[in-house]
Amino acid sequence: MTEPLFRRIDWASLDAAGRREALARPARRSQASVGDVVRTIFDDVEARGGAAVTEWAIRLDGAPPRRIAITDEAVAAARDALPPADTRALRVAAENVRVFHQATRPEDSALVETTPGVTSRIVWRPIRAAGLYVPGGTAPLFSSLLMLAIPAGVAGVTTRVAVTPPSKDGSAHPAMILAAAEAGLDALWLLGGAQAIAAMTFGVTLDDGEIPACDKLFGPGNAYVAEAKRYAAALPGGPSADMPAGPSELLVIADRFCDPEIAAADLLSQAEHDGDAQVVLVADRDATIDAILTEVADQLETLPRAAIARVSLAEARAIKVADMAEACVVSNLYGPEHLAIQAEDAETLVASIRAAGAVFVGRWAAETLGDYAAGPSHVLPTDGGARTLGGITTASFMTSMSVQTVTEAGAERLGPIAARLARLEGLEAHARAADLRSVG
């Protein structure tokens, strides 16, 4: 029997306010108490440095910060702790991520001559220091370490600071150590939560070494981590942040040709992440929704993380639309982190999608493949960020600059134009700087 896990919604019956409410993220993601805790931690770390980080880590992580050097010995021990098939799978995933990001690394543009003697180009440079937050807690997401550290390495970032919460016994999962090795990191810090973000924001000295202040913060996390990144980026002189990358999201567009078992499995794959995760089903028939929700209920019974999934599914939505065109409209309004299109004309529908972190097209494109091994990074914008932002790429770890070169003849031609426009804006000093180059 189908459990009432999803809130069922008829899109046609809603007014504008009702549609906004139907696509709202879970309220607990933006509770004021989250911001209050983050500010308290940041103020303490700014004032007391490493001592504050250590105290917060013991209180919230259950262990003090610890630096794990990625030595040959540590890697060998981690490899011995895992079945050979696991280490091979991790290596394949790492190589796919590396290949994809090497192939999509931005290149300096060609010279563009806009006026004879005036040429410009765009050049790319890696940022100096990147802070990489890798979620842990209820599951060690070593895949996120690959998805962050490898693109950063391909970009040429020289200082990559990777932090992740310790496991319950205060250790690091062997796969996390192997992932760090595959990414070419020299160390991994066992430190989580807002205190880890604060440490990478201000730079701190700890018993095991130094965490330097980072120029940009990356990575997904819970509501506290997401708020900490936002707060850090708003500080005067603080680091920038990659995107809002909070609890996971998945929207599935399904028509009568979908496989309900597969659609349900995809929805549960995100619901089991976190109680704050949100999944949304959009379909054009009640019968399709019924079949998928029945499968969700059946599969949930044997899911090891069923308790977590149930909390998430309390915020799930099943939305009936008129047709697949309207399904794309709803998806674009929501702007999901992950979008799975499980419909007969899935390839055709992609042209109508303009706001999604990653799109998985058709029956065989499991979102799980993207999570682990397809190549593109699975660190993607949440909370509607996909309406204006993309996911992590090599370019995320780089900056672009325009480089302009002007000959004497070019200055002679373009200087008077620039000077006239400067005077039109009332900026005489600008005009004189151009005049000095255009008057022989």
Residues with catalytic function: 337-338
Phi, psi (degrees; rounded to nearest 5) at 315: -105, 10
Radius of gyration of the chain (CA): 25
Our measurement of the distance from residue 35's CA atom to the centroid of its chain's CA atoms, rounded to an integer in Å, reads 20
**Please, which residues have CB within 8 angstroms of residue 394's CB and are 6 or more apart in sequence?**
101, 102, 104, 105, 106, 151, 154, 155
Phi, psi (degrees; rounded to nearest 5) at 349: -65, -25
- Which residue shows structure tokens 């001559």? 113
Q: How far apart (Å, rounded) are the C-alpha atoms in residues 12 and 284?
A: 11
Phi, psi (degrees; rounded to nearest 5) at 50: -60, -35
Strand partners, 164: 190
Contacts 24+ apart (CB under 8 A), 410-418: 410/115, 410/116, 410/117, 410/118, 410/119, 411/117, 411/437, 411/438, 412/117, 412/438, 412/440, 413/115, 413/116, 413/117, 413/118, 413/438, 414/115, 414/117, 414/118, 414/438, 415/439
How close are the terminal C-alpha atoms of the chain, in Å?
Answer: 88
Q: How far apart (Å, rounded) are the C-alpha atoms in residues 193 and 190?
A: 11
Give the CA diameter of the chain.
Answer: 88
**Please, which residues have CB within 8 angstroms of residue 427's CB and are 6 or more apart in sequence?**
none
Q: How far apart (Å, rounded) are the C-alpha atoms in residues 293 and 261?
A: 9
Q: How far apart (Å, rounded) are the C-alpha atoms in residues 129 and 147?
A: 17
Q: Using an 8 Å Cβ cutoff, are 168 and 185 in contact?
A: no
Q: How far apart (Å, rounded) are the C-alpha atoms in residues 173 and 142?
A: 8
Per-position DSSP letters for 247-275, written without gaps between them? S-EEEEEE-TTS-HHHHHHHHHHHHTT-T
Q: What is the dihedral of CA 136, 138, 143, 149, to 10 degrees?
A: -10
